[in-house]
Amino acid sequence: MKQTSNPQPTRHDDALLRSTLLKLTATQKIICSVVIAVVALIWYDLLNRLIDFGHGIDYTGLHALGPRTVELLARYNPFFWWTLVALCTLIIAYFLYSFVRGTQRRTQGKLVSTAVVGGLVSQLSDPAKEVLAWVWQDRRDPLTVGDLQRTAFELRANRAHKINLAREHSAALNGAMGLPDNNKDLQSG
pLDDT tens digits, residue range 37-53? 999 999 999 999 999 88
Domain assignment of residue 188, yes or no: no
Query: What is the pLDDT averaged over residues 60-83?
Result: 81
Confidence of residue 5 (pLDDT cuts 50, 70, 90): low
**Rg, the chain, Cα only:** 29
Domain assignment of residue 186, yes or no: no
The pTM of the full predicted model, rounded to 2 decimals, is 0.75
- Of the candidates 97, 87, 142, 93, the residue with the CA atom closest to the CA atom of residue 115: 142
Q: Answer whether residue 19 shows pLDDT above 90.
A: yes
Residue 111's SS3 state is strand
Domain assignment of residue 4, yes or no: no
Q: The domain containing residue 84 runs over which residues? A: 12-169
Domain assignment of residue 54, yes or no: yes
Between 10 and 18, the more confident residue is 18
Domain assignment of residue 184, yes or no: no
Structurally, how many domains does the chain consist of? 1
| pLDDT, averaged across the chain | 88
What pLDDT is attached to residue 47? 94
Contact indicator for 70, 60 with CB cutoff of 8 Å: yes
Confidence of residue 127 (pLDDT cuts 50, 70, 90): very high
Query: What is the pLDDT averaged over residues 153-181?
Result: 87
Domain assignment of residue 115, yes or no: yes
Domain assignment of residue 176, yes or no: no
Where helices occur in the chain by DSSP H, the ranges are: 11-55, 67-108, 114-123, 126-135, 145-156, 159-177, 184-187
Q: With pLDDT > 90 as the criterion, what percentage of the chain qualifies? A: 62
b/e code 76-113 from CB counts within 10 Å (16+ = b) = eeeeebeeebeeeeeebeeebeeebeebbeebbeeebe
Query: What is the pLDDT averaged over residues 116-140?
Result: 93
What pLDDT is attached to residue 74? 80
What pLDDT is attached to residue 111? 96
